[in-house]
Amino acid sequence: MRETLELKVEPRTKLGKGPTYRTRRQGLIPGVVYGGDSAPEAIQVDERTLVRHYSTGVFLQTLVNLETGGKKTRVIPRAVQVDPVTDRPIHIDFLRLTPGGSVTLDIPVHFRGHENSPGLKRGGVLNVVRHEVALRCPVEAIPEYIEGDLADLDIGDSLHISAFTLPQGATPMIRERDFTVATIAPPTTFVEETPTAAAAVEGAEGAVPAEGAEGAAAAPAAGAAPAAAAPEKGKAPEKK
């Protein structure tokens, strides 16, 4: 089970653009709590506290106990609206978690058995296709993460969602197929091209042909008299 965050909030009695603007000027973030059998409740949260939790990157998957005037409500953050310029939170929505209900969450994926994987031993690489898996979970059994075993995976093998042991009552949101969560990919190596073939071609083109029958035929015969030059056209031969 994942840990629960304790967060103190205050009720927000005045609504509208003006009061909401003044709330933010006071260092508070307006929000709303909805869901269950109760009516929506307007609240306000300390900005520095909210920014600290939101900056962890897992705030929207964190269970929260909201304390308002001594009363605690079990909720989960569902949406955080941020300023488009400063990227700081300006509004937050919390969903009540009622006993016996269920909620859809993105659950982180962890892996074990790296040291026993034949593929990883041979230099393979773990390729994580899904770092999180969307699960529909009972509010009483929300896991902190799900874990897959790599012990029997060789290069080219895949780990599907069916290989994971899910908490009782939890079901994947993708049900029409046994989707892949991770694979063992072949090792990636870089092989530098050797210039041997290119050098051989260049050497063949620049080589001097060996003297032989063909070379001797091409060269003029040794001691042969040069051929007489042909007289120029239009000019009579000189008389002696």
Pick the closest to residue 104 from 16, 169, 34 (CA basis): 169
Res. 220: pLDDT tops 80 = no
Q: What per-residue confidence (pLDDT) applies to 123?
A: 93
Average pLDDT of the residues in 211-236 = 47
pLDDT category of residue 70 using cuts at 50, 70 and 90: confident
**Tokens standing for 132?**
């999180």
Q: What per-residue confidence (pLDDT) applies to 223?
A: 47
Last residue of a domain, one of 135, 155, 185: 185
8 A C-beta contact, residue 20 and residue 30: yes
Q: How many domains does the chain have?
A: 2
Pick the closest to residue 33 from 57, 55, 17, 9 (CA basis): 9
Average pLDDT of the residues in 157-174 = 94
Whether 11 and 84 map to the same domain: the answer is yes
Q: What are 77's strand-pairing partners?
A: 94
Q: The domain that contains 67 carries what CATH number?
A: 2.40.240.10
Whether 85 and 138 map to the same domain: the answer is no
Whether 91 and 163 map to the same domain: the answer is no
Least confident of 35-44, 124-133, 204-213: 204-213
Last residue of a domain, one of 185, 200, 215: 185
pLDDT digits (tens, 9 = 90+) for 147-165: 999 999 999 999 999 999 9
- E-strand ranges in the chain read 4-8, 10-11, 28-34, 41-46, 63-68, 71-82, 89-96, 102-112, 125-128, 132-138, 146-149, 158-160, 171-172, 180-185
pLDDT category of residue 218 using cuts at 50, 70 and 90: very low
Enter the pTM of the model: 0.65
Q: What per-residue confidence (pLDDT) applies to 211?
A: 47
- Quote the domain boundaries for residue 142: 103-185
pLDDT category of residue 52 using cuts at 50, 70 and 90: very high
Asked if residue 238 is part of any domain, the answer here is: no
Whether 113 and 68 map to the same domain: the answer is no
Mean pLDDT, the chain, integer: 82
Q: The domain that contains 163 carries what CATH number?
A: 2.170.120.20
Last residue of a domain, one of 98, 126, 143: 98
Asked if residue 190 is part of any domain, the answer here is: no
Res. 219: pLDDT tops 50 = no
